Amino acid sequence: MLRSRRLRAFLARYVAPYSQERDLGFYETLSLAARAGLRVLGWFGVLTLAAYAAARVISAVARGTMADQIAAGFGEVLSDKLIVLALAAVFLGIARFRLSLTVTRVIVGVFVLVAGTLLVYDDFVRGDFNLTAGWLALLLLLVAGAIPFQPLHTLLLGIALTSIHTAFALQPASDGTAFGGEIRRFVFLLLVTFVATAVESALYQGRHAQHRSRRKLERLRHLLTTQNTRLALQARAVENQNSRLEAQAVQLEAQQRQLVQQEKMASLGQLTGGIAHELKNPLNFITNFAGLSVELLEEMEEEMREAPDRPVGEALDQSADLLQDLKTNAEKIREHGRRADGIIRSMLAHSRAKPGPRRLAKLNTLLDEYVGLAYHGMRAEHQGFNVEVVRDFGADVGEVAIVPEELGRVFLNLLDNAFAATRERASEAPPGYEARVRIATRALSDHRVEVRIEDNGPGISPELADQIFQPFFTTKPTGEGTGLGLSLSYEIVVNGHGGTLTVDESQSGGAAFVMTLPTGEVD
């Protein structure tokens, strides 16, 4: 059953593919190919006419010697064959008519059978079949390559030419003897028939494949045109939507700039409170040591005035202790002046609009500085509230390539949130609650460092943890927060420094913000 089905499929595809020609488009393609094939046959006939004329000239010129007679005989034989094939020149005229494929096949098939019969008959009359099979093979291969026959048609034409040749070759000659070599020519013509059928099958299936590809391409082109039209309509709609969104984006951008500025001012206010507290100590030292220096100078002036006639060396020896005290005071004044200058520089750097380049900085030192600023800022704003600050800095954490001013903003933001969380829990917790914020650093194995800021406040629920870094999201009451602090911190750490910033639950039940930073390289 399976073999018979395969056999039918093979015959339908390669022998008599009638079903394929039911496609009008493919039928028209074959019709166009048939017209082109008629022109090929016509030009072959024209060239054969030219060869026929040359053969007749050879026959007319050759005379006299044996060689001339042989040449003349060859010219006559050749001219007889050529005049038969020259009949194909009529196809140039036939090609001008828009004949159907079926009519074209019938005309060419009749021409093949008639021409083949004439070629065989001419050799039969002459009594020489040596070259007849070659002429028939030429005729069959020419037609198979030019006209889009079905493979079965070519097979039938080849069998017909073979049968005609064999029928004449088996007839006895005029002297009563039989022609020789019939079996060899018979086998040769069958092989040529097989080759011509295979060529015709390949050409036929090639034309069908090209037709299918062209139809597929046309369908794709039509689909693409339809899709382009649809996309153009959608693009127009999106363009209109984009215009509306751009107008809204301009408004949102203005509001965002305002909110970001408010967030920066709030951060700067917290920083200013801490700086004011930090500046108070060095300024007090400077004032005190300056006052002591004034008193020592007055005392030294009195001693100098008591004995103005003393030698300079003796006066310096007697005032050596006063001079040493003055020198010590001046050094203390310079030391605390530099400390105050560093605090002011940090404040100015923090308030810059654009971050500077990355540079190597000691992470523990920078973090400790901002812990102090954040703590004193909180104490300046909430004087009655106290928080235990635990510093757990890893000794193996060295210098990291960062933008210190930008990370300072992140530290202040996270620390402010931690202090605020402990104040919130303290307002609701029973007596005995001790607010605690732990700041820890450690070096990781993949050339990164970790900063962990955790508190023992009320903590953050998993639902809020998924949204806490989104812009404008805040859990603070209206008017107390913009919702941009953590989103800006996330932007600075992740996009600005190539690190990570996540929120976790601390061991004491509160929240823990975990930051990792690559040690990196300076810009």
Same domain, 121 and 224: yes
Q: Encoding tokens for residue 139?
A: 């005729």
Same domain, 119 and 171: yes
pLDDT tier at 69, thresholds 50, 70, 90: very low
Contacts of residue 349, defined as CB under 8 A and 6 or more positions apart, other chains included, come to 356, 404, 405, 408
Per-residue pLDDT averaged across 19-40, rounded? 85
User: What are the Cα distances from residue 348, in Å, to 100, 201, 370, 493?
Assistant: 94, 88, 14, 21
Element (H, E) at 295: helix 182-306
Asked whether the beta carbons of 469 and 487 are under 8 A apart, the reply is: yes
Query: Per the domain annotation, does 495 fall within a domain?
Result: yes
183 has a pLDDT exceeding 60: yes
**Cα dihedral 303, 305, 308, 312 in deg (nearest 10):** 40
pLDDT for position 71: 46
Minimum mean pLDDT among 137-146, 362-371, 473-482: which range? Answer: 473-482
Q: Encoding tokens for residue 397?
A: 């954490």
Integer Cα distance of 323 and 309 in angstroms: 20
Contacts of residue 146, defined as CB under 8 A and 6 or more positions apart, other chains included, come to 37, 38, 40, 41
Asked whether the beta carbons of 133 and 188 are under 8 A apart, the reply is: yes
Per-residue pLDDT averaged across 487-512, rounded? 85
CATH code for the domain in which residue 364 is found: 3.30.565.10
Q: Encoding tokens for residue 440?
A: 């820890």
Residue owning tokens 């002011």: 344
Q: Encoding tokens for residue 79?
A: 């001219």
HEC sequence for 68-80: HHHHHHHHHHHHH
HEC sequence for 401-455: EECHHHHHHHHHHHHHHHHHHHHHHHHHCCCCCCCEEEEEEEECCCCEEEEEEEE
State pLDDT tens for residues 374-410. 888 777 777 777 888 999 999 899 899 888 888 888 9
pLDDT for position 211: 85
Asked whether the beta carbons of 193 and 162 are under 8 A apart, the reply is: yes
Query: Per the domain annotation, does 52 fall within a domain?
Result: yes
Cross-strand pairs, 127 = none
HEC sequence for 160-175: HHHHHHHHHHCCECCC
Per-residue pLDDT averaged across 149-167, rounded? 90
Domain residue limits at 171: 11-351
Same domain, 129 and 248: yes
Same domain, 128 and 212: yes
pLDDT for position 12: 55
Q: Encoding tokens for residue 411?
A: 């530290």
pLDDT for position 191: 92
pLDDT for position 476: 64
Query: Per the domain annotation, does 50 fall within a domain?
Result: yes
Asked whether the beta carbons of 306 and 263 are under 8 A apart, the reply is: no
208 has a pLDDT exceeding 80: yes
Asked whether the beta carbons of 452 and 509 are under 8 A apart, the reply is: no
What string of DSSP letters covers 466-500?
TTTTSTT---SPTTS--S-HHHHHHIIIIIIHS-E
Query: Per the domain annotation, does 2 fall within a domain?
Result: no
pLDDT for position 252: 81
Integer Cα distance of 90 and 100 in angstroms: 17
440 has a pLDDT exceeding 90: yes
State pLDDT tens for residues 445-459. 888 999 999 998 888
Q: Encoding tokens for residue 20?
A: 């394929």
Query: Per the domain annotation, does 54 fall within a domain?
Result: yes
Q: How many domains does the chain have?
A: 2
Residue where a domain terminates, one of 306, 321, 351: 351
Per-residue pLDDT averaged across 11-31, rounded? 73
43 has a pLDDT exceeding 90: yes
Integer Cα distance of 276 and 402 in angstroms: 26
Per-residue pLDDT averaged across 148-160, rounded? 90
Query: Per the domain annotation, does 5 fall within a domain?
Result: no
169-199 as b/e, with b when 16 or more CB fall inside 10 Å? Answer: beeeeeeeeebeeeeebbebbeebbebbbeb
Mean pLDDT of the chain: 79
How crowded is residue 252: how many other Cβ atoms within 10 Å of its Cβ? Answer: 11
Of 26, 48, 350, nearest to 212 (Cα)? 26
Query: Per the domain annotation, does 6 fall within a domain?
Result: no
CA angle 331, 332, 338 (to 5 degrees): 90
pLDDT for position 318: 61
66 has a pLDDT exceeding 50: no
pLDDT for position 317: 65
Integer Cα distance of 167 and 183 in angstroms: 12
Of 412 and 430, more confident: 412
pLDDT tier at 173, thresholds 50, 70, 90: low
pLDDT for position 156: 92
pLDDT for position 521: 66
State pLDDT tens for residues 71-123. 444 445 566 788 888 888 899 889 888 888 889 989 999 999 999 898 888 88
Minimum mean pLDDT among 13-27, 31-45, 137-151, 418-432: which range? Answer: 13-27
Of 341 and 347, more confident: 341
Q: Encoding tokens for residue 128?
A: 């020489």
pLDDT for position 70: 45
Same domain, 43 and 81: yes
Residue where a domain terminates, one of 351, 382, 416: 351
- Positive or negative, the CA dihedral 236, 238, 239, 240 is positive
Same domain, 190 and 57: yes
pLDDT for position 180: 54
346 has a pLDDT exceeding 70: no
pLDDT for position 80: 74
Same domain, 94 and 225: yes
Per-residue pLDDT averaged across 15-44, rounded? 83
Residue owning tokens 């400077």: 286
pLDDT for position 487: 79
What helix, strand, coil percent values describe the chain, rounded to 5?
Answer: 70, 10, 20
Same domain, 378 and 305: no
Same domain, 301 and 419: no
% of the chain beyond a pLDDT of 90: 11
Alpha helices in 307-319 (DSSP H): 312-318
Query: Per the domain annotation, does 30 fall within a domain?
Result: yes
480 has a pLDDT exceeding 60: no
Residue where a domain terminates, one of 327, 351, 375: 351
State pLDDT tens for residues 240-293. 888 888 888 888 877 777 766 666 666 556 556 556 655 666 677 677 777 777
Same domain, 91 and 190: yes
14 has a pLDDT exceeding 70: no
Contacts of residue 168, defined as CB under 8 A and 6 or more positions apart, other chains included, come to 120, 121, 123, 124, 129
pLDDT for position 179: 54
Distance of CA 432 to the CA centre of its chain: 61
% of the chain beyond a pLDDT of 70: 75
Angle between helical axes of 182-306 and 320-350 (0-180°, round to 10): 150
Contacts of residue 139, defined as CB under 8 A and 6 or more positions apart, other chains included, come to 85, 112, 115, 116, 119, 161
Same domain, 423 and 327: no
Same domain, 456 and 324: no
Minimum mean pLDDT among 148-162, 166-180, 489-503: which range? Answer: 166-180
Of 289 and 147, more confident: 147
Minimum mean pLDDT among 46-55, 159-168, 372-381: which range? Answer: 372-381
Of 201, 200, 185, nearest to 137 (Cα)? 185
3 has a pLDDT exceeding 90: no
